[in-house]
Structure 1
Amino acid sequence: MAYMAGDVTRAQHFFDTLARQGVPEAQTALGKMALAGEGVPRHPGIAAVWFYKAAQAGDADAQLMLANQFSSGVGVSRDLEQAYLWARLAQQRGDPKVVEAAGDVIRLARVELPADTLFGLDADVRAWRGAP
């Protein structure tokens, strides 16, 4: 509620407390705040850390955000294999908007990555055992 009311400082405090307790939605929220510099200094690298934690827990929004960071090289080294992997995982868990946005990353990776690499990554996606 604090975030929606525009009190980003208070929201950041609550998100931080919950994120450190392992709540993926709070980790994703902190990542978005760090990426945008909203209530905290802009720091894409810290955003990637929070997104990674939430993505590992199965948060589709975090998986998509991480895929975008790997695709563009913002806050992390550009890595289309990681971008593809996280985008495919997000697509499996996400709502229609996440599915559509992940498709953009996937299409880019399919153009630039060799078929055997994509085949191996698809196997990794099928075998992934993150939280539902």
Structure 2
Amino acid sequence: MIEEGHCVVDEQEATAADWYRKAAEAGVVQAQSNFGLMLMKGKGVPKDERAAVDWFVRAAEQGDPDVQNWLGLCYQDGRCGVAPDDAEAARWYTAAAESGDPDAMSWLGTLYKEGRGVPKDDARALEYFMAAANAGCQSALDELRNRGLSP
């Protein structure tokens, strides 16, 4: 199969999309996210952001932290054909953070710091920034430095 990031010749895209769709329908998490990406980009299938998000949700609900973080970004910024929704962004960032995703921890820290989608809570924000920084997240390290702190 052909994965994201690899060179795909145009005539192979439809075949790859078909295989990803079949595997996605069978519940294969990586195939669900890859088929979602193909739908998002219109590679091998007609572009359909809403359907892409549906596939991302299926993968995220099975515990894929990368997709959970991606959905957080989609909802935070109103990308991917969804309306901005900070509470939904926080939900997906929380799921990814619980799986150890440092970027999601940092984004969740930002939401708590700003009170977006969650109650404003500086102590909780700091906890997430510290955890993310300890996992090597540069944006969290920068946030801590701006506060005069280190992990």
Structure with the higher fraction of residues in helix conformation: 1
Q: Is the 8 A contact 1:92 1:99 kept in 2?
A: no
Structure 1 residues 42, 99: closer, same or farther in 2, change over 3 A? Answer: farther
Q: Cα RMSD over matched residues?
A: 2.2
User: In terms of Rg, which structure is larger?
Assistant: 2
Please list every run of 5 or more consecutive structure 2 residues that lacks an aligned counterpart in the other structure: 125-151
Which structure would you say has the larger RCO, counting Cα contacts within 8 Å and 6 or more residues apart?
A: 1
1:36 aligns with 2:41: yes
Give the alignment's TM-score, normalised by structure 2.
0.64
Alignment deviations for residues 56-93 of structure 1 (CA, whole Å, 9 cap, x no partner): 11111221121111111122221111111211211232
Quick one: distance in 1 between partners of 2:111 and 2:20?
33
Partner in structure 2 of residue 78 of structure 1:
84
Which one of 55, 63, 70 corresponds to residue 65 of structure 1?
Answer: 70
How many corresponding residue pairs? Answer: 113
1:14 aligns with 2:19: yes
Q: What amino acid is aligned across from residue 93 of structure 2 in structure 1?
A: A
Deviation for aligned residue 1:46: 1.2
Q: Is the 8 A contact 1:71 1:105 kept in 2?
A: no
Quick one: distance in 1 between partners of 2:47 and 2:27?
22
Query: Percent of aligned pairs with the same residue?
Result: 30
Secondary structure of the structure 2 residue equivalent to 1:64: helix
Quick one: distance in 2 between partners of 1:2 and 1:87?
28
